[in-house]
Structure 1
Amino acid sequence: MHLKGNELGIVVSHRKPPTHLSFIFQLNDDIDVKVGEFVEVPIGKYVLVGRIVLITAYNEYLENPEFIRDHMQRGLSISARFPIDIGRWRAAKVEIIAMFSGDRIHPPNIPPEPGEMVYRAGTEVLRKLLGIREDGLFLGTMYGNSDLKVKINPESLVRLHFAVFGTTGSGKSYTVGVLVEELLEKNFPVVIIDPHGEYFTFREKNDDMSAVAKLSLLGLTTRGYPTQIFYPSYGGSGNLSLNFSQLNTDAIAEMANLTPVMRDLLYLAMRNLRDSGIKKITPDLLLSTVNEIASKWGFYKKTTLTLSRNISLLKELGIFGTGFDPKEIVKPGQLTIIDLSGDIEEHIRRIFVGAILQELFNARKKNLIPSLLVIVEESHRFAPQEEDTYSKTVMRKIAREGRKFGIGLGVVSQRIVGLDKDVISQCGTKFILRIDTKTDLDYLRPYLEISSEEDARRIPYLPTGVAMITGRATRYPILINVRPRKSKHGGSFI
C-alpha cells in the first residue's frame, strides 16, 4: 500500500510519452533521488518497477539564451527580477525492468499512464526483484538505501563463477574478503591463490574500531576464521611441493623454457614412459628416456643436450617432492591460502598455480574432496590474454567445466585488459568497483550484460568500497556499500 506523502513525482508526457520500456516523471520539489535508484508505479493489478537512469534539471526562466544574454550584458540579476525558484523543476528518466502481479514477475509490456504517481520501490519489492534471500551471503547494503541488506544466493555465485574488478585502492580485495567470510560461515571450503600475501590475517579478528562500530549497527560481531597457509617449496624453503609425475608435457615444457623442437622431444619421451605403464616419473628417469628417444628419432645432439640441461636445472629449484594431498588443502569451513609472495620466478609461480588447480580439479571430478571455491588474485598474471600458459589452460578448463563437478572459480584483477577473455566470459557474476582507465572499461563493456551505458559511465566515479553487482547473482545490476569485514584485513581499509 502506498501512503499519501511518499510520492516521488508524477508520470509526464510533455517531452516524450511513456512506453512499456521507459517513462519520464517530474519530481516533487522536496524529493531527493539518485541515479540507479529503483522506483515503482502501481497500475491496476500490476506494479511496474524500474531504475532511474537519468535526472535532468530545468528552469523555465533560463531556457531562452537571448533573455539570459540581455541580462548579463546589462548587469542585471535575473533572480532579483524574476522568481526563478518557482520556475525550477526536475525530471527523471526511468527504464522499466519488470512488472509484478502478486509474487509473479513479468517482463515489461504495459506503459504507465501520464498522471500516475511514482514511488520509491519498497524493500519487499526489491527483495523479490533482485532475488535477495534471507539465507544468502550478506555482502552489504544497497547504495542509497541502507535499510536493504543485500544477500545473494551462494549457489549461483560459486557454481557459475564470478569476477571482482577494480583499480588499486577501490576496495577490491576487501570485497573478496567479505565474500570469503560469508562462504566460510556456511561451511564452504575456499582456496585463495595469493600472490601478495595479503590474506593471512583471516585468522585474526578485525580490530579497527570504526569497522567494529559499523558491524555492531548491522548486528554483526568480529571474529577470525580457520585458516591454513601453504608456501611453495622453492630454493630450500616452503611446505608445498609438486609431484613431478603429475605434471603434463606442457607444464614441464613451460617450466623448462623449451623451444618447439625440444617440446617435441619431451612429448615423445613422456608418451613413451606413459605407454610403458610407468606411473612414477622422476626427472632422472625422464632424462634417460630423452636420450633414448633422441637417438631413436635422430634429434640433433645440441637439442638433446639443451633439453637435458634444462630438466636438470629444474631439479635444483627444490620444487619437486611427494606433492600434496588435495584432502589437506580442501576442508569444509576452512580457508586455505597458497601464498606466492616469495621470491619466485614468474613462470615457476604460474606452474605452481596450474598444477595446484589441476590437482584440485581432478580430485573434485573423482569426488575425493567436497565442492569448493578457488579464488585467483592477480588473475591476469595466471590467465594472460596475450600469452599461452599452463595456468591459463587449467583456469579455462575450470571456468568451462567446473560447474559440472562442483568447483567454482573467482577471478580478481585490477588489470582487466590483460585477463583472458574466455575466462571473463565464463564468470556469471561480476563485482565492479571503481575502474578509471578507459582501456579497461572498454574491454569490460561487452561483459556487463544488461547494465546500461549510464551504469558503465558511473564506474570511474564509484566511491571506495562501493561495488556494482551485475549478472546471475542478482537479476538486475545494483550498487552496494560493501559491509565491514569481521576478520582483519591485510591490505588497505575501505
Structure 2
Amino acid sequence: MQVVGVTTQQEVYIVSRDRKFRINEILVVEDAQLDYPRGEVVESMSYNRLIPMGLDKSLVDAQVIQTLEQIGYDIESDEINLAKLRLYEEAPHPVRTGCAVRLPKFEEVRSLLVKSSPEEGMLLGEIRGTESMGATISPDLKDQVMIMEQGQLRPQWGVPFIFDIKTMQQYPHIGVFGGSGSGKSFGLRVMLEELMKLRIPTMVFDPHFEMDFSERTPGMEDKGIQFTDCYTAVQIGRDVGISFSDLSTRDVTELLGAAGSQLSDAMVNVIQMLHRKRDSFISFSDRVSNLVQALEEGKQGLDRQLQNPELTPTDVQRIHDLKKLLNQFGTLPPSSVKGVHWRLQRLEKAGLFQQDIRAIERGLEQGKLVVVQGSTWVLQVFATYVIGSLYRKRREYKDARMNGEEGRFFPPFVVVTDEAHNFAPKALDSPAKSILKEIAQEGRKYGVFLVLATQRPTLLDETITAQLNTKFVFRTVRGTDIATLREETDLTPEEGKRLPYLRSGDTFVSSAVFGRTIFIRVRCAYTRSPHLSNPFDELKQFAEAQDDKVVSCLLEALPVFETDLVPTVTLVNRECGLSWDVTRLKQELERLARDGKLKKHETPFAVRYDRR
C-alpha cells in the first residue's frame, strides 16, 4: 500500500494491487517527516480501466492514473484498489507522494479509540474498521462485548467502543437519532443497561411500555449483570402521580397549561385568584366547580332558590356559600373559569392526583433506573412536574453547598426519553419543553443530563439539539433529517451519503470527546424488549391455539349434524369463552374440515361433522 496522486494536509489517496480497503479502517502513513500520521479510510473502490463505467469522475482522476503508471501499475489489465484516507490531525505540510502505508498496531492508535476502562465507562459496541488490530488488542479490552450479525451472535473482533460517562460533566447530553428499524431503540436499551451497570440514577419515560429488563436475550444469559434489582417500573396513576397540595400557584398554572392548548391570560388570572397555598385537589376543584355553578345561576337565580320553602338548612348554607363566591369572584369571565374546570377534570381522569413521586425519588436515591410508563399525553404532562421537581431538588442542594450550607443530598441523575420530538417540538409549545431546555442549557452545572432519542431530529427543538454534545446517528432516510444531522455534527459528505444504507445496529458517533465521528456497531443487548415477537407469528399462534381449543370442545359433541347446531354453539361459547352464533359456527366447521382437523360427511338428509 502506498500514497499516490496529489496529496494535501488533510487527505491522501492510497493504492494497493492485492488488498481491498475496508471503509473506516485505520492506516498509518510512513512519512517520518510528519511523525507517521494516522488516518481513516472514508471512501474506497476497485478500478479497472477496461470497465470504467464513468468512475473516472470519482477517486480516479488523471493525476492519480499518471502516478500509478509511473510506479509500475498496469492500468490496462490490473485491478487497482484505491481509497481516500482522511488524516486524524491536519499535517503541517502535504504528505509525501509514494510513501508506504501500513496497518497499525493497537497501541499506536489506543489514544484515538479508547478514552476509558470497561469498568468505568459504558461498553456500547465495537468500532468498525478495527478488526485488523484484533491480535494486538490489550487483554483488558478483549472479549468485552458480543455482536449480533445476520441474526447470529459472534465474539468481539475489533476494539470495543467505550463511552466515558464522566466526560458528560464537560460535554453534556446525548442525542440518539434514527428512523424506524434502524436499531435506535435497541441502542437506547444498551445505553440503559450500561447506566444500570454503573449504578447511575436514571429516569426513563417509556410511552411504548417496552423498557422491561427482566427477559434475557437468548445466548446472553451468562453475560453482564442481573438487572432485576437495578430498575423499577412505575405507572402514572397507579404507582406515581402529583401531590397537588405541594404545588405552588405557578406549578398549578404550568400543570393546567400542559393539559390542553396554551392558557389565555384570563385563565391564568382565574388560577391566580382561586388557588390558595396548601390547597388539596378536592378543595381547589370544588372551589372552581362551585364558582362555575354560581356564575351560571347568577345572583338573581340564587336569590330565587332561597325562596323555596322546601330547602333544608344544608341547601340554604350551600346557596349562601355560592353567593359569597359570586360576590368575591363574580368579575371573572365564565368561559375562562369553565376552561380551568375542564382541564382539572381531564387531569383527574388521567389519575394524575392519586399518588405522589416518592417512588421515583426513592429509586433515584438508590442508584436505580426508574421507568415511568403511561400514554404519551399523560407522560408529557407528568414529565413537566416530575423533571422540574427533581431538578429543583438537585439544584437547591448544589446551591446550598456553594453557599457553605448543609442541604439535603439529592443525587445527580440522567433523564432519558424516546420520541423526544413530542416532548420538545420545534416551533411549538409543549408541556415539558421549557424544563428540558433549561436542563439542556444549565443542567451540566448541577449534574443533571439528558439522553434524547427521536426518529425525526428536524422536529426537535433546535436549542436542545445544539446542546447535545454526543450524537448517535443510525440509519436515516429523509433528506431534511440528514441535512439537519449534517449541520449538527461533523459528518462528512461521504458519511452523509451512507446514512440511508446503514444496517440496523450500525451507527455514527459524533462526539466532542473524540473530536471526530466514529463508526460503530452496537453490541448485543443482554435483555430484550417484550414487544420483540413478530405480530404475524403471534396471529398464527393465537389462531392455532383457538382451533385446538374448539376442536377439543367439539370432541365431546361429535358427531355434529348441520341441522342441530344450536346446542353445539352454546357448548362452544361456554367452554371457550366465545360469542359465536350458528352461522359463525357453521363457517368454522367448514374451515376445520378443509384444514383436515374434522371430517365432513354429506348424506341425503344432512351434513355431518365427525372425527378424522
Q: CA 1:97 to 1:486, structure 2 compared with 1: closer, same or farther past 3 Å? A: same
Q: Which has the larger displacement, 289-298 or 431-440? A: 289-298
Q: Distance in 2 between matches of 1:431 and 1:115?
A: 37
Residue 478 of structure 1 is matched in structure 2 by 518
Matches within 5 A, 1:54-453: 54-62=43-51, 86-98=77-89, 107-134=90-117, 135-144=120-129, 145=131, 146-157=157-168, 160-200=172-212, 202-206=213-217, 208-209=218-219, 211=220, 220-221=223-224, 223-225=226-228, 226-233=230-237, 238-244=238-244, 245-246=246-247, 247-255=251-259, 257=261, 259-266=263-270, 268-269=272-273, 273=276, 278-280=277-279, 282=281, 284-285=283-284, 288=287, 298-321=331-354, 323-325=356-358, 326-340=360-374, 344=375, 346-367=376-397, 368-448=409-489, 450-453=490-493
TM-score for the superposition, normalised by structure 1:
0.79
AA at the equivalent of 2:30:
P
Q: Tell me, in whole angstroms, the C-alpha distance in 1 between the residues paired with 2:161 and 2:260.
A: 48
Cα 1:417–1:364, aligned 2, differ >3 Å: closer, same or farther? same
For residues 101 and 236 of structure 2, what CA distance do their matches in structure 1 show? 59
Higher helix share: 2
Equivalenced residues, count: 433
SS at match of 1:147: coil
Letter in 2 for 1:241: G
* Cα distance, 1:399 vs structure 2: 1.1
How far apart are residue 279 of structure 1 and its match? 4.3
- Please report how far the alpha carbon of residue 337 of structure 1 lies from its aligned counterpart in structure 2 after TM superposition: 0.5
Query: What secondary structure sits across from 2:428 in the alignment?
Result: coil
- 1:312/1:327 Cα in 2 relative to 1: closer, same or farther (>3 Å)? closer
Q: 1:376 to 1:63 in 2, by over 3 A?
A: closer
Higher strand share: 1
For 1:94 and 1:414, how far apart are their aligned partners in 2? 31
Q: 457, 462, 487: which is aligned to 2:527?
A: 487
Deviation per CA, 1:189-230: give whole Å up to 9, x if none.
Answer: 222110001111x13433x13x56xxx8xxx45633422111
Root-mean-square deviation (CA), in Å?
2.9
Structure with more relative contact order (C-alpha pairs < 8 Å, separation 6 or more): 1
The residue number in structure 1 matching 2:17 is 29
User: For the Cα contact (< 8 Å) 2:266–2:333, is it kept in 1?
Assistant: no
Q: CA deviation at 1:62?
A: 4.7
Checking the alignment, whether the CA contact within 8 Å between 2:202 and 2:370 is kept in structure 1 is yes
Give the AA of the match of 1:318.
G
Tell me, which stretches of 5 or more residues in structure 1 are unaligned?
1-8, 66-82, 99-106
TM-score by length of 2: 0.65
Aligned residue number for residue 454 of structure 1: 494
Shift of 1:123: 2.2
Change (3 A) 1:466 1:242: same
Q: 1:119 to 1:317 in 2, by over 3 A?
A: same
Distance 1:64 1:221 in 2: 50
Residues 1:182 and 1:259: Cα distance change in structure 2 (over 3 Å): closer
| Residue 295 to residue 304, structure 1, CA distance change in 2 (3 Å) | farther
After superposing on structure 2, the runs of 4+ consecutive aligned residues of structure 1 that deviate more than 6 Å are none
- Sequence identity, in percent? 22
AA matched with 1:284: S
Task: Flag the structure with larger Rg.
Answer: 2
Q: Structure 2: which 5+ residue stretches go unaligned? A: 55-73, 132-156, 292-324, 398-408, 534-612
Deviation at 1:316, TM superposition (A): 4.4
The answer to whether the Cα contact below 8 Å between 2:122 and 2:164 also exists between their aligned partners in 1 is: yes
1:288 is displaced (CA, Å) by 3.7
How far apart are the structure 1 equivalents of 2:349 and 2:191?
39
Kindly state the Cα deviation for residue 261 of structure 1 after the two structures are TM-superposed.
3.9
Provide the rounded CA distance (Å) in 2 between the counterparts of 1:198 and 1:183: 17
Question: Post-superposition shift, 1:347?
Answer: 3.7
Contact conserved, 1:375 with 1:411, CA < 8 A, in 2? yes
